[in-house]
Amino acid sequence: MQIDFKNIREQFMRMPIVLHVLLIGGVLCLLSAITLQALRGYTLHNQAIVVPDVKGLQLEEASTFFENNDLRYTVIDSVYTKDVSPGAIYEMVPGAGSKVKEGRIIFVTLNARTVQTAPVPDVADLSFRQAYALLQSKGFTSVDILYVPGRYRDLALGVELRGNSLKPGERVPVAAQLVLKVSDGGSAPNAASGDSINTSPDPSRPHTEETTATSSENEKWF
């Protein structure tokens, strides 16, 4: 059986709408195939790079690992910690071992080369709770409480570092062990406060003896 292509072509020519639909369908299929192929190449389909573990390394050393793995990096922040050496990488996002695409930017946090400091706030005449919260808000997390003789109970008197009184505004390391001096109101602190105070005689701390008989009255009032 011989196919009459001439007759078929003439029939298609008499139906231009069908011809146009077929042409449009062919063009769409071709464009879809080209787009999918391009996306596979652009997104590196089924290809991943494992982020190297460079935490603790200096940025100059870590940059070599990033370049060898076709990764980029940018420093977004710095902190101060004793966990890693100054200037070393403290944290990465995405973390070590994560699978990423080639050229991905790794966000790096460095450990500061200098000790982080903050100004000591003026805590005099504040309540114990206010003074303690103010110190913490400035970044001071290591604060001991020392009750000393004073007229008003739980009134902050000042801040000390290694036995030396600190002036308001004086900058000290935020990791320093500060001592917040608090007035005892003429009586020993309540055991329920959670502060351990040494009540044994100490020659280096004069005037720490038990108060007079009126202290029992103060204890009952407070």
Structure confidence at residue 39 as a pLDDT band (50, 70, 90): low
Q: Is the pLDDT of residue 133 over 90?
A: yes
Could you tell me the pTM of the whole model?
A: 0.43
* Lowest mean per-residue pLDDT among 2-11, 68-77, 103-112: 2-11
Q: Is the pLDDT of residue 215 over 90?
A: no
Alpha-carbon gap, residue 88 to 73, rounded angstroms: 14
Q: Is the pLDDT of residue 196 over 60?
A: no
Q: What is the DSSP string of 128-141?
A: HHHHHHHHHHTT--
Total residue count of the chain as it appears in this document: 222
What amino acid occupies position 165?
S
